[in-house]
Each structure stands twice: as structure tokens, then as C-alpha cells.
Amino acid sequence: MKALIIVDVQVDFLPEGALAVPAGDTIIPVINALQKDYDLVVATQDWHPADHGSFASQHSGAQVFDQIELHGLEQTLWPDHCVQSTAGAELAAALNTTNIEAIFRKGTDKQVDSYSGFFDNGKRKNTGLRGYLESREITEIHVCGLAADYCVYYTAMDSLEAGFKTAIISRATKPIDKTAFMDKKEIFLQKGGRIL
């Protein structure tokens, strides 16, 4: 059984959004077309409290993209984005959600960021995604969405670690930083992942 995980295709990651991924909107038609090819389609959704510790606005004198330590973990500081119950946190209107069976919210704990759809960055709490996939007898996972170098990559890496055959669909994802994604892609491949 094969599943598609659609990662964070949300308003704030699209052009004009608070944390826009360059050309992030261009992958939506591709994702919509892919969905029919899978036994199961699920999605993740960044869902931050307004005072999330990963927001630069929560740290006096800090700038967006500064690196800090947050409760023992290295943390990039982001602009406020995907705040719970705001328009920016909504799934993109152009995304076909008809086939999405479940949505797994992440980044809900203000003390730790959560790039992966499986765990927070410290792997202190899981989202329930792994158990859901296992209960559906999924053995292979393809990951798409935003952004390739952060939430897509970390979701794919945790999928591999959980024992799923895992691929990133390159035509259905976009990075914030292309160079950073190239480096991470090599790590993913070395761990046994595939790029489609």
C-alpha cells in the first residue's frame, strides 16, 4: 500500500504569504494530479500558537533567520507564520482536499518547532502520523509539498527512519534555499531514500 503525504501546502508558504517559498504555488496542480495514484492521501499543517518560540518576534532584538538555541535545540527564527485559526494557516484554496483522509497538525507546542510531519524537532512528541500509516498497512510513502529543504525533507527522513520505503517527488516540491536542499537531498539518498 502506497501513501502520499502532502506537506504544509498553506497560504503563508505561497507567494505573498508570511514565509513564502519561491514559486510555491506552482506545485499545486502537480499535487492535485498525483493524488489519484495513491491508496491513501494525508496532509500536514503547520499550526503554531501566536507566541511560538520559533518566531523572531518572540525574542528581543532578534532578526528573522537568526540562529538561536531554543530549549536545548538549534533553532532558526522565522517570521510569524501559520498561526492557529488565521487565514495564513489555511490549506491553499487551489489544493484539492477531497482525497485527503486525515490532516496532522504540527508545531503546536510553543517550546519546540516541528518540521517533520511525524515528530517535533526534539522527537519529544509524535503527531500520530506513523501509527495512522501503519494501521492502514502502508509500506511506501511519497512526500511532496512545502518547503523541500525543511518540512518535506524532515518528514521524508523520519519516514525512512520509521521503516517506510520513501521518496520525495521533486516536481511536487519547492525549497526555500535551493543550495541547502541539494545538500540535504544527498543525505536523503545516502540513507536509502529516492527522488522521483
Active site residues: 8, 106, 151
Task: State how far the Cα of 112 lies from the Cα of 147, in Å rounded to an integer.
Answer: 18
Phi/psi for 105 (5° steps) reads -85, 145
Peptide bond into 147 cis (omega under 30): yes
Gyration radius of the chain's alpha carbons: 16
Is the distance from CB of 149 to CB of 176 less than 8 angstroms? yes
Beta strands in 84-196 (DSSP E): 100-106, 140-146, 165-174, 194-195
Q: How do the residues of the chain divide into helix, strand and coil, expressed in percent and rounded to 5? A: 30, 30, 45
Task: State how far the Cα of 145 lies from the Cα of 171, in Å rounded to an integer.
Answer: 10
